[in-house]
């Protein structure tokens, strides 16, 4: 049976750059003529995606699959954890919800997941030339080492060489690399074949003495120093990315305030707005709303808890005041549910509250149900007023991930779903209020539709008396992945990585 070569990227910490390094290697190997796939046995993320077969996986594996030039599948991320509280999470296995469980109980559950993880990996290994595996967090979490199913256990089970990535931008990278290796068992340390310094700013020659010391101290080679970059447009998975963003990432004419909910999910929905030159701000306090031209309530894993946060923080009061003054509001997925009159949860699917009042900006009611809806969709715009003026009839693509069903008393449905991977479909999605200023939808990826996004933003400009834009910011993902591959290829010893895989 065919057995793909494998390489694994682990990190000294979360957000060290593992995901982006895997994406870069996937692109490099593809450029070099190999059929390559990513794999992450267990991911913890609120940013997720729905595959063509209707399975939910981490957004990072979708980016990596795109870089590899292949369609994402659930085998690339067989276990996905979506935190619901600080101590609990929803467990998604092969794309479907398996259970909601506490962190303590989850680690009693992991041994039963090993067979599922192993089977998914073997299916990939039989279908591809190279598998690039991503770890999670750090392999040196000594309290989890005997129960983890994503770092050294996977490396040992698959016989995969490991490269350790350290983030120099946050400081302490040399101590982190040395400390990580020191805390590994001998057989684990033997699997580590090299180290990568990531997110470096400055003159790399200033590191030479430190790199020499690091290699002598650990007996492991440094395979490269990868520069910090901001000019490559690739979707980020970890919400730590939002902490690192400058306060204002653009100086465009449109000021868009995205509410940074505690359990915010799929915030890459709004990346294309920045590419159009909009000033996209993630706000956590009411005074930060300022004079935004548009307020967005994004997706969330915990609608009820985040709705309570809006009220406790005073943001709900400010959002309602701005809506009454005519500021347009958009809610996506959980944000859509919040905009309604109420949320009913008689089966206590999400919380202990059986009924919660919404913000009342849309005449809709949401019923939580145990079954999660996960599907890719093709839709057609139905409405032709307000925020959707000029878009009627346009066809859009996106995806749905939600555990609620929303029924509407509004006269204006926003979209009609016309196709899913199962075939033709015919059901309404989303609502636009009578004034056309408040829009809610379950469709993630709405603003990734170039023509719709450009018309939507120009309609918003007209509403505020601003000049229209030509809207030529169509994003070419292939070019962005090629830029990433070029950067990493220049700064990483790719021939040595091939040699490590061959050995």
Decide: 439 and 338 in contact? Cβ < 8 Å: no
Q: For residue 271, which of 44, 450, 82, 21 has the smallest C-alpha distance?
A: 450
d(CA 229, CA 339): 37
Decide: 177 and 218 in contact? Cβ < 8 Å: yes
d(CA 70, CA 36): 8
d(CA 312, CA 163): 45
CATH architecture for residues 248-474: 3-Layer(aba) Sandwich (3.40)
pLDDT at 109: 86
**Residue 151: pLDDT over 50:** yes
For residue 317, what are its two tokens?
Answer: 């009061």
pLDDT at 352: 83
Q: What number of residues does the chain have?
A: 503
How far is the first Cα of the chain from the last one, in angstroms, to the nearest whole number?
19
**Number of C-beta neighbours around residue 159 at 10 A:** 9
**Number of C-beta neighbours around residue 87 at 10 A:** 9
d(CA 60, CA 11): 15
Q: Where are the beta strands (DSSP E) in 338-384?
A: 342-344, 355-357, 364-381
- At 480, the pLDDT band (50, 70, 90 cuts) reads very high
| Better pLDDT: 499 or 250 | 499
Per DSSP, 476 falls in state -
Q: What is the rounded radius of gyration, in angstroms, for the C-alpha atoms of the chain?
A: 23
The pTM of this model reads: 0.88
Give the distance, in angstroms, between the CA of residue 231 and the centroid of all CA atoms in the same chain.
19
Q: Which residues, including other chains, have CB under 8 Å from residue 491's CB and lie 6 or more apart?
A: 224, 225, 226, 227
d(CA 435, CA 214): 63
Residue range 175-190: mean pLDDT, rounded: 96
For residue 169, what are its two tokens?
Answer: 């931008």
Q: For residue 62, which of 233, 228, 234 has the smallest C-alpha distance?
A: 234
**Residue 78: pLDDT over 50:** yes
**Residue 2: pLDDT over 80:** no
d(CA 375, CA 402): 10
d(CA 73, CA 214): 38
d(CA 205, CA 189): 28
Residue range 231-250: mean pLDDT, rounded: 61
Q: Which residues, including other chains, have CB under 8 Å from residue 397's CB and lie 6 or more apart?
A: 376, 377, 378, 379, 445, 448, 449
Decide: 52 and 421 in contact? Cβ < 8 Å: yes
Decide: 117 and 154 in contact? Cβ < 8 Å: yes
Mean pLDDT of all residues belonging to the chain: 91
d(CA 259, CA 261): 6
d(CA 306, CA 304): 5
Cα Dmax for the chain: 71
3-state secondary structure of 445: coil
- Please give the share of the chain, as a percent, with pLDDT higher than 90: 75
Q: Per residue in 100-141, pLDDT tens?
A: 888 788 888 888 899 999 999 999 999 999 999 999 999 999
**Residue 300: pLDDT over 60:** yes
pLDDT at 248: 47
Q: Per residue in 227-238, pLDDT tens?
A: 998 888 887 765
Decide: 106 and 91 in contact? Cβ < 8 Å: yes
d(CA 180, CA 140): 5
Q: Where are the domains of the chain?
A: 5-233+480-502, 248-474
Q: For residue 161, which of 142, 124, 188 has the smallest C-alpha distance?
A: 188
**Alpha helices (H) in 314-423, listed in sequence order:** 315-324, 334-339
Residues recognised as catalytic: 333, 444
**Residue 410: pLDDT over 90:** no
Decide: 260 and 222 in contact? Cβ < 8 Å: no
Residue range 452-469: mean pLDDT, rounded: 94
pLDDT at 392: 95
Residue range 166-193: mean pLDDT, rounded: 95
Query: Domain 5-233+480-502, CATH 3.40.50.300 — does that match?
Result: yes
Angle at 173 between CA 171 and CA 175, to 5 degrees: 110
Q: How far is CA 484 from CA 200, 347, 430, in A?
A: 15, 47, 36
pLDDT at 249: 47
Q: How far is CA 7 from CA 19, 193, 491, 495, 501, in A?
A: 13, 10, 18, 13, 6
Q: For residue 70, which of 36, 32, 117 has the smallest C-alpha distance?
A: 36
3-state secondary structure of 227: strand
Q: Per residue in 309-365, pLDDT tens?
A: 999 999 999 999 999 999 999 999 999 999 999 999 888 877 788 899 999 999 999
Q: Per residue in 62-74, pLDDT tens?
A: 999 999 999 999 9
Q: Per residue in 21-39, pLDDT tens?
A: 999 999 999 999 999 999 9
Q: For residue 125, which of 66, 192, 57, 38 has the smallest C-alpha distance?
A: 38
**Residue 473: pLDDT over 70:** no
Which secondary-structure segment (H or E) carries 214? helix 208-218
Q: Do domains 5-233+480-502 and 248-474 have the same CATH topology?
A: yes
């Amino acid at each position: 049976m065919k057995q793909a070569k494998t390489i694994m990227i682990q990190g000294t910490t979360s957000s060290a750059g593992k995901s982006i390094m895997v994406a870069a290697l996937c692109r490099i190997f593809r450029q070099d003529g190999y059929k390559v796939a990513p794999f992450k046995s267990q991911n913890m993320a609120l940013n997720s995606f729905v595959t063509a077969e209707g399975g939910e996986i981490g957004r990072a594996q979708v980016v990596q699959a795109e870089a590899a030039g292949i369609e994402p599948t659930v085998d690339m991320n067989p276990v996905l954890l979506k935190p619901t509280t600080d101590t609990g999470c929803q467990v998604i296995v092969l794309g479907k919800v398996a259970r909601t469980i506490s962190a303590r109980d989850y680690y009693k559950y992991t041994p039963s997941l090993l067979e599922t993880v192993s089977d998914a990996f073997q299916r990939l290994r039989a279908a591809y030339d190279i598998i690039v595996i991503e770890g999670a967090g750090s392999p040196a979490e000594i309290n989890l080492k005997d129960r983890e199913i994503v770092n050294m256990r996977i490396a040992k089970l698959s016989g995969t060489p490991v490269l350790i990535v350290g983030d120099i931008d946050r400081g302490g990278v040399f101590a982190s690399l040395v400390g990580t290796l020191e805390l590994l068992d001998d057989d684990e340390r033997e699997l580590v074949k090299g180290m990568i310094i990531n997110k470096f700013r400055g003159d790399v020659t200033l590191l030479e003495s430190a790199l020499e010391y690091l290699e002598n101290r650990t007996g492991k080679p440094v395979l490269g120093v990868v520069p910090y970059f901001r000019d490559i447009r690739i979707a980020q998975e970890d919400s730590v990315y939002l902490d690192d963003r400058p306060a204002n990432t653009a100086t465009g004419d449109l000021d868009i305030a995205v509410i940074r909910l505690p359990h915010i999910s799929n915030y890459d929905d709004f990346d294309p707005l920045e590419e159009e030159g909009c000033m996209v701000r993630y706000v956590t306090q009411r005074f930060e709303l300022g004079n935004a031209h548009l307020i967005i309530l994004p997706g969330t894993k915990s609608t009820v808890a985040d709705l309570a946060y809006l009220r406790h923080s005073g943001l709900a009061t400010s959002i309602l005041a701005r809506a009454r003054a005519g500021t347009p509001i958009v809610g996506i997925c959980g944000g859509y549910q919040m905009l309604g009159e109420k949320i009913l949860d008689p089966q206590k699917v999400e919380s202990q509250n059986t009924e919660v009042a919404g913000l009342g900006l849309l005449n809709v009611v949401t019923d939580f149900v145990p079954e999660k809806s996960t599907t890719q969709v093709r839709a057609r715009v139905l409405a032709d007023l307000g925020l959707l003026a000029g878009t009627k009839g346009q066809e859009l693509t996106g995806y749905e991930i939600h555990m609620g069903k929303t029924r509407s008393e509004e006269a204006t449905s926003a979209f009609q779903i016309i196709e899913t991977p199962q075939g033709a479909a015919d059901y309404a999605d989303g609502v636009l209020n009578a004034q056309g200023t408040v829009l809610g939808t379950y469709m993630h990826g709405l603003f990734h539709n170039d023509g719709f996004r450009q018309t939507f933003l120009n309609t918003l400009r007209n509403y505020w008396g601003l000049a229209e834009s030509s809207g030529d910011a169509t994003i070419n993902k292939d070019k962005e992945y090629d830029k990433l591959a070029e950067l990493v290829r220049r700064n990483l010893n790719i021939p040595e990585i091939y040699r490590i895989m061959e050995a």
